[in-house]
Amino acid sequence: MPRLLKGIRQRGRSFFLRIRTGGTDRTIQLGRDPDRAVTRALEIRRRIRAGLSPTEERRAILTVRDAVQSWLEDHVRHSRHGAFAENTRSRCERV
């Protein structure tokens, strides 16, 4: 496991980064893999130094189709595996 950077905290099995931007504290989820958490934290810090927002802004959800598509990309892709994810995707498309 890599050495965690300053500001990275572990809660349970997930890693989080605590940053202060614009006078407010923010906690950003980095995921469960420690290697990817460190890489993502470095990317967030690079974006802040460049004057960009810490994370990429998501587009607004306007329709049910957009909400389902967002859920499929965020939750299903990361939480479900193989055929189960494809089955969930196909059921959503049929409905």
Cα–Cα distance measured from residue 88 to residue 79, given in angstroms and rounded to the nearest whole number? 11
Judged by DSSP in three states, 37 sits in helix
b or e along 62-78 (b: 16 or more beta carbons within 10 Å of the residue's beta carbon)?
A: eeeeeebeeebeeebee
Predicted model pTM: 0.53
The ranges assigned to domains in the chain are 8-49, 64-94
For the cut 70, the answer to whether the pLDDT of residue 1 exceeds it is no
pLDDT, tens digit, 9 for 90 and up, residues 45-80: 888 888 887 777 666 767 888 888 888 888 887 788
